[in-house]
Structure 1
Amino acid sequence: MLSNRSRYALRAMVHLAALPGGGPATIAEIAEAASAPRKFLEAILLDLRRRRLLVSRRGRTGGYALAAPADAITFADVIRALEGPLALAPCASRTAPGPCETCPDERTCPLRPVLTEGRDALAAVFETRTLLQAAANSSPIDPVGN
């Protein structure tokens, strides 16, 4: 399940993608557009800036803006920045693979093929959907179906 943190982040990023040049916008503007608590959103935006998905500028015309064109940032980029791999288990991850803590043998595990298939299905959607696409289809409804 996608965390509230990721849902707020995606809403905020889609809002910025809808602005000319990807922003900037103030935290207050982004919080209102994302229907997010301001303090919680501040921490999220800082994490996205640290992950180089956002840039920030101080001053009167400052705020947060996308660090890359909106058509170059995918939903997967945002989710991975905050949640880590898309996979439900380490053995199914492509970006951070590893053995599961409780699995006696990764090679013969009956769960791994199903978990890998699920990860691939999620990735097929999230890696191909950009912020620009979501902004073009945006409405007052949550961009991730909440």
Structure 2
Amino acid sequence: MISQKAKYALRALVALSRTRTGATMMIGEISREQAIPKKFLEQILLELKRAGIVMSLRGRSGGYALLKAPEEVTFGEVLRLIDGPVAPLPCLSKIAYRRCEDCQDETSCEVRHVFERVALATRGVLDSTTLADALKLEDMPI
């Protein structure tokens, strides 16, 4: 399960993706539109700015804008930035691997084998789905 912080980050980025190229959105506007607490959104946007995903401008026409095209930002990138590794078990993490304490042998662990398939499928979807894709999906019927 993703954190509320990651969900808010993705919602803010999708909102910024809807703006025309070069346009900015004020924090208050994103906060109202996406129902994200303003103080929490400030922290999230600062983290996204440090990672080079968004930029901020001061002044009358200030606000936040995407630094990258919506086609270049994947859900996987954002989730890893905000929540860390995308792995259901510590022994499946690529960047924060840790052997499960109760595991005798990873190569014969049936639980690991099943969740390895889950992790691969999940990463495949998250790493191939961009902000632009999310905008297209909202117009498609389920």
- TM-score calculated relative to the size of structure 1: 0.84
Q: 2:98 maps to which residue? A: 98
Q: 2:109 maps to which residue? A: 109
Deviations 1:32-58 (A, max 9, x none): 222111111111111111222212222
Q: CA 1:102–1:63 in structure 2 vs 1: closer, same or farther (change >3 Å)?
A: farther
Q: Does residue 15 of structure 1 match 2:15?
A: yes
Q: Which structure 2 residues correspond to residues 130-145 of structure 1 after superposition, within 5 A?
A: 130-138=130-138
Q: Does residue 4 of structure 1 match 2:4?
A: yes
Q: CA 1:25–1:108 in structure 2 vs 1: closer, same or farther (change >3 Å)?
A: same
Q: Which structure 2 residues correspond to residues 12-91 of structure 1 after superposition, within 5 A?
A: 12-21=12-21, 23-91=23-91
Question: When the two structures are aligned, how many residues end up with a matched partner?
Answer: 139
For 1:77 and 1:22, locate their aligned partners in 2 and report how far apart those are by CA, in whole Å: 22
- Long gaps (5+) in structure 1: 140-146
For 1:75 and 1:23, locate their aligned partners in 2 and report how far apart those are by CA, in whole Å: 22
Please tell me the root mean square deviation across aligned C-alpha atoms, in Å.
1.9
Letter in 1 for 2:17: A
For 1:72 and 1:7, locate their aligned partners in 2 and report how far apart those are by CA, in whole Å: 18
Partner SS, residue 46 of structure 2: helix
Deviations 1:59-118 (A, max 9, x none): 221211112110010111111110011111221123433323443443343322122111
For 1:117 and 1:70, locate their aligned partners in 2 and report how far apart those are by CA, in whole Å: 28
Which of these two proteins has the greater Rg computed from alpha carbons? Answer: 2
Q: CA 1:109–1:134 in structure 2 vs 1: closer, same or farther (change >3 Å)?
A: same
Letter in 2 for 1:59: G
- TM-score calculated relative to the size of structure 2: 0.86
